[in-house]
Amino acid sequence: MTIYEKSFSCHRISEGVAEGEVIVSKDDIMFYLVNPETGEVIEKGHDLEGRSIAGKILVFPGGKGSSVVQADGLYQLTMKQNAPKAMIIQNPDTVLVSSAIIMEVPMVDQLDASFYAALKDGCRLRVDANSQIVEFI
């Protein structure tokens, strides 16, 4: 019984397994306007403005922005060890998907509405993109 309450199936986009604290963004994310030195979102008016995504499980609707900046933003964050540990999205697009694959950041989508209902900022998740399972821990 418990397993159904805390474990959800998902669809793998980019391989890998990660555990960590959740940060939820209502807005789409463009990694170029995230300070690589701190992981802090610096985009004016963004839902996560001033908050750090470094080492977090980042839950957000999808990516936005040009076809080069996602990869560069994620690359800079990774170089400074401030990239998110894993990403959970709703609207995959090729730019974000290929950036995650190339930079080897685990990413999944297709989580059930009940997952989003149970999700809270700051809770802990284990994202297993390989087995296509997301668990509350």
Partner 1 sequence: MKDKHFLSIPVYRLHVTWMQLPNQNIFLQNMSNITHLIPKGGRIVDLTKFEREMLEGKHGEGTAIAMKIQVAIGDSFHAKRMVPITRAHVALSNQEADLWFAEKLLKAGAHCKIPPTVNPGFNLNYFKSVGKVTDEFASLMQRTHDTYKALGAVLSYNCTPYIQTNVPFFGEVTAFSESSATPYVNSVWGARSNREAAQSALCAAITGVVPEYGLLLDENRYGDILVKVEADIKSDFEYQLLGYMGKKIGPGIPVFTGLPTPITPEAFMNLGAQLNTSGAYGMFHVLGVTPEAPTMEAAFGGKEPKRIVTITNEDLQDILSQISEPGDQKIDFAMFGCPHFTLRQVQIIAERIQGKKLAVEMWILTSSHTKEMAQRMGLLEVIREAGGEIVSDTCPDQPCWHYLSGKTGITDSPKCAYYPKRRGLNFIIRDLETCIDAALRGEID
Q: Which residues bind partner 1 (CB under 8 A)?
A: 11-15, 27-28, 32-33, 35-37, 42, 45, 61-72, 74-76, 78-79, 91-99, 101-104, 130-131
Catalytic site includes residue 9: no
| Pair 132, 12: CB distance under 8 Å | yes
Give the residue with the Cβ less far from partner 1, 13 or 57: 13
Take residue 8 and report the two structure tokens written for it. Answer: 């959800």
Percent helix / strand / coil, the chain, rounded to 5: 25, 35, 40
Q: How far is the CB of 14 from partner 1 (least distance, A)?
A: 7
3-state secondary structure of 102: helix
Find the catalytic residue in 9, 66, 114, 131.
Answer: 66
Catalytic site residues? 66
